[in-house]
Structure 1
Amino acid sequence: MGLNTELAPADVVRRQYLASAAGDLEALRATLAPDVEWTEMAGFPLAGTYRTPEGVTANVMEKLATEWESWVAHDDTYVVDGENVVVLARYTAHNRGTRKPLDVRVAHHFVVRGGLIVRFEQFVDTALVRDAAT
C-alpha cells in the first residue's frame, strides 16, 4: 500500500493541479498511474492520447511551457462520483508567439483508482485556444 492509496480521488486530482501550477513535473508524474491514458481534445494544439507519466509530461506540460507563458489550469469546482472526478476550471496564459492572452473555461474528467489518475479527458473550446495562438 503506497502513500497515495490513502487519498480520496479529489485529493489526488488536486495534487495534480498544484504540481502543474508549481511546474513540478516530478510531483505531477507521481499522481499518474504507470498505464495512464491522458487525452487532450481533438482540435486542441496538443490533441491526442498520451500514455505513461513521462509521456504525459513530455507531450503536454513541457510543450505547453514552450508555447505559452504562465499557463495555469485554475481548478474551481469538483464533482465527484466514486472514482470519477470532474473539474470545472479555467486556463489562463499568454501565447509566446502572438503575445495574445488566453482565458477559457474547461472541464476535465479524471478517473482515479488506487490513489492514482488512470484516465484523463479534456473538454475545452478549442477555437478560443486556436485564436490566441494565431
Structure 2
Amino acid sequence: MTHDSTDLVASTAPPDVVRRQYLASAAGDLAALRATLAPDVEWTEMAGFPLAGTYRTPEGVTSNVMEKLGQDWTGWIAHDDTYVVDGENVVVLARYTAVNKATGEPIDVRVAHHFVVRGGLIVRFEQFVDTALVRDAMND
C-alpha cells in the first residue's frame, strides 16, 4: 500500500483509518486520534495491562488510555509494522516502546491489535500484549 499523505487522510479504507490512528497517537495529536474513532467506539485494553478495561466514546478513550500513558511513560509509541486485513477487520502486529517515568525502566514489547472499522471509523479495538513485561517495567 503506497499512498501519499493526502490519499491517507481522505481514505475510509479500514487499514488507512487504522494507520491514521497510529500516526496521530505517535504524534500526540489526540484530536486527530479521536477523529478516527466512532462516537460509540468500544476500546478494550487487555486484562492485566495497567489500564485494563473497556472505554467508550472518543474522549473516554483518549482521557483514560493515551493521556494516562503519557503521565506514566516517556515516549510511549505503538510501532505498527504488519497489517492483516479481512474486510472491516484489521489486525496489526506492532510493538510498544517507552520508558517508565517512575522506574526509568524501558520496554520493547510485541503486541497485536484488532480493530473493526465501519463507515471510515474505528468502532471496536482489542489489545493483546504480554502484560507482565509492561508491569515489570513499572515495578523495578
TM-score (norm 2): 0.92
The 1:113–1:5 alpha-carbon spacing in structure 2 relative to 1, beyond 3 Å, is farther
Are residue 91 (structure 1) and residue 96 (structure 2) matched? yes
Counterpart residue number, 1:17: 22
Q: Is the 8 A contact 2:44 2:55 kept in 1?
A: yes
Q: Is the 8 A contact 2:21 2:36 kept in 1?
A: yes
CA-based RMSD of the aligned residues comes to 1.0
SS of the residue aligned with 2:104? coil
Are residue 123 (structure 1) and residue 128 (structure 2) matched? yes
Alignment deviations for residues 88-116 of structure 1 (CA, whole Å, 9 cap, x no partner): 00000000000000000000000000000
Gaps of at least 5 residues in structure 1 are none
Q: Is the 8 A contact 1:5 1:115 kept in 2?
A: no
- What stretches of structure 1 move > 3 A for 4+ residues in a row? none
Alignment of 1:1-134 (within 5 A): 6-134=11-139
Q: Percent identity at matched positions?
A: 84
Alignment deviations for residues 18-53 of structure 1 (CA, whole Å, 9 cap, x no partner): 000000000000000000000000000000000000
Residue type at the aligned position of 2:82: T
TM-score (norm 1): 0.96
Gaps of at least 5 residues in structure 2 are 1-8
